[in-house]
Structures are given as C-alpha cells and as structure tokens.
A and B are shown apart, each in its own frame.
Chain A
C-alpha cells in the first residue's frame, strides 16, 4: 500500500533553515510527482510546490520562490523540502502529497509540524 512517512517535528529560530523529508513506499517512486502543502495553525491549505522524482526542474508557488528547494533521492525513495530564512509565519504543518498524474494529490503524508520561534 502507498505510504508517505515524514520526518518528525522541528523547532527553529527565525532566520534558520528547515528540511523536511518524505519517504515513499508502495509504488514506483519515479512515476508520480509529489506536491508540498502547508497549513498554518487554524488556517487553510497552502500549495507550495511540486517535483517530478523522475527528473526535471521543480515548480514553486510564487510566494516561496527564492526560499524553497524541493529535491529527491531516488536511491532511498525520499523527497525533501527545504525552506530558508524562516519567519514566525512559517510556523505550520508541512505535508507531502503524492500526485495522481493529473495535478491533484491522492495520498498524503502524516504531516510535519515546524515551529519557528525565538
């Protein structure tokens, strides 16, 4: 069965960087793109970007351009989302979510809570 297992919660200082991992299993890793979505406390879902694990340049939401980097390691079937220059409003739960090949996700990771606080 498809599983996306994300790394654990993190606490970061303002100005630092964060890197969340998402280990995929149960399907051909390079056959499905991966979305990254975040949710601030009490807020809605915010689409951040998408990566093709088979190669090619990721696409990022305009809001995160210059601060976000999506990468993948095909040897371990793991996706990574790195966000730099963290601010308090980056405090959120970050999700990876597997694309269906039709630009919407079907399977989601359990979420990684990141708190940015001095």
Chain B
C-alpha cells in the first residue's frame, strides 16, 4: 500500500501569511494527489485535485504543485476562514486511496 506523510503536522500563522504544506508519497504517484480542508465538526471539502487543479468554487489563493513523490499546498495569503486541518490523499491506480495524517493550521 502507498503511505502518505505530511509536514509539518501543525503550524501557526497569521492572517496574510503565505503558508506551505508538504505531502510525500512512499512511491511515485505521478500527479494523482488531492487536497482537502476540514473544519471542526464538518466533513472534508475538496480543494485541489490532480496535484494542481483548483476545485470549483475554491479561492485562487489556494494552489498545488508537485509530481512523483513530493507535493505542496500553498495558501498565498491566509484568511481567517482558512484555519483548519488539511489532508492530502493519493488516488493512484488501485485502492486503498490513502490519506495523509493531516496538517493543522492554527492562529499564531
């Protein structure tokens, strides 16, 4: 099975900051990497699919990049509503379609 890791596990930031989260896969997953945002008590929401494609309705301050085994999610200017937990998920080839352990973005 493909294992996913994320770093950092938690970060503190202020409104307006540029935030970068890294996700790594245990093997080459090409561009089959997706990002989700989850707020307390809510279901996850899709932000980015296939490494760099913004899901409809997602603000353009979110962007994704990478391929192979290393990927990044960037928030160009953090907004108050962006404090949440972010998960990567690989969708390469066959199941299981594992999630990363998550990165919590908290107020500095």
A residues adjacent to B (C-beta < 8 A): 35, 37, 44-47, 49-50, 59, 61-62, 95, 97, 100, 102-106, 108-111
Task: Please indicate the chain A residues that have their CB under 8 angstroms from the CB of B98 in the complex.
Answer: 47
B97, A50: Cβ atoms under 8 Å?
yes
Q: How far is the CB of B62 from chain A (nearest CB, A)?
A: 16
Using A102-B91, A105-B46 as known contacts, list a sample of 18 further A-B pairs with CB atoms less than 8 Å apart, ordered by residue number in A. A44-B87, A45-B36, A45-B102, A46-B99, A47-B89, A47-B98, A50-B95, A50-B97, A61-B95, A95-B44, A100-B49, A102-B49, A103-B32, A103-B92, A104-B46, A104-B49, A106-B55, A109-B43
16 chain-A/chain-B pairs, Cβ below 8 angstroms? A45-B36, A45-B102, A47-B96, A47-B97, A50-B95, A59-B94, A59-B95, A61-B96, A95-B44, A97-B43, A102-B49, A104-B49, A104-B89, A105-B46, A108-B45, A110-B43
Per DSSP, chain B at the interface is: loop
Q: Which residue on A lies nearest to B34, using beta carbons? A: A104
Interface residues on B, range: 20 to 34
Task: Please indicate the chain B residues that have their CB under 8 angstroms from the CB of A37 in the complex.
Answer: 99
B100, A44: Cβ atoms under 8 Å?
yes
Q: In the bound complex, what is the Cα–Cα distance between A49 and B43 (angstroms)?
A: 17
Task: Please indicate the chain B residues that have their CB under 8 angstroms from the CB of A61 in the complex.
Answer: 95-96
